[in-house]
Amino acid sequence: MVSLFSHFSFLDPSLRFEVLETIAKQAFKIYYSKGDILLRTGEMSGKLYFIEKGLVRSCTFTETETTTWIFAEGDWISSAEKFSEKLPSLESLEVLENSTVWVISYADWQSLQDQSPVLKDVTIQLLQQALTRVNTRLQLLTIDSPAKRYEVFLKTFPQLANRLLSNHLASFLHMRPKTLSRVKKHLRNQDKRIF
């Protein structure tokens, strides 16, 4: 579990108290159950989420269901569209485990930034994290070999490997569940040969 308060440990201690006090005035903690939907495709989000405990995926439902990202403890979730314009979300947010999530509205976040300039730096950091996620996702999708994609996933996100359903992981890795199953079996067989 990563508390909202420990998440800001990177700040100078004197600023950290100011930021946390400011956020605590507007944010609230919500407990979500596995299967809950935080946001549906086409809805206006209006919220920024921080995962204290649990797992949430962003996904699309077109011809096939695709997991576009996995969010875990310590991650912020926001609709990228929300930081630029008031646009409907292109993705849904589904809770994959019982989760504890801090929620604050974008309007309140904007207002808090006006009250505490340090929060503008925090917003920049959140945008940088979002860019890093996009870059990681693009790099993962450019790997031709399904086995290599899975290996990179295991190295990049070891804490998620045993927490995801196979169909969610397969769609995140842009492969069919049968392919993922074969890749896992192949890797297990390789590990057995080593010993």
Same structural domain for residues 68 and 15?
yes
Predicted confidence at residue 127, as pLDDT, reads: 80
Predicted confidence at residue 193, as pLDDT, reads: 55
Same structural domain for residues 8 and 104?
yes
Same structural domain for residues 63 and 85?
yes
Tokens of 155: 């190295």
Of 90, 76, 81, give the one whose Cα is nearest residue 43. Answer: 90
Predicted confidence at residue 195, as pLDDT, reads: 44
Same structural domain for residues 22 and 48?
yes
The answer to whether 140 touches 68, Cβ cutoff 8 Å, is: no
Predicted confidence at residue 26, as pLDDT, reads: 83
Predicted confidence at residue 170, as pLDDT, reads: 94
Tokens of 85: 């314009």
Distance CA 46, CA 87 (A): 10
Same structural domain for residues 105 and 155?
no
Q: Which residues of the chain have pLDDT under 50?
A: 195
Same structural domain for residues 107 and 81?
yes
The answer to whether 67 touches 171, Cβ cutoff 8 Å, is: yes
Tokens of 115: 């009250």
Predicted confidence at residue 75, as pLDDT, reads: 87
Domain range enclosing 50 = 4-142
Of 116, 55, 66, 119, give the one whose Cα is nearest residue 90. Answer: 66
Same structural domain for residues 136 and 149?
no
* pTM confidence score: 0.84
pLDDT of 14-59, one tens digit each?
A: 666 777 777 777 888 999 999 999 999 888 878 889 899 999 999 9
Same structural domain for residues 183 and 121?
no
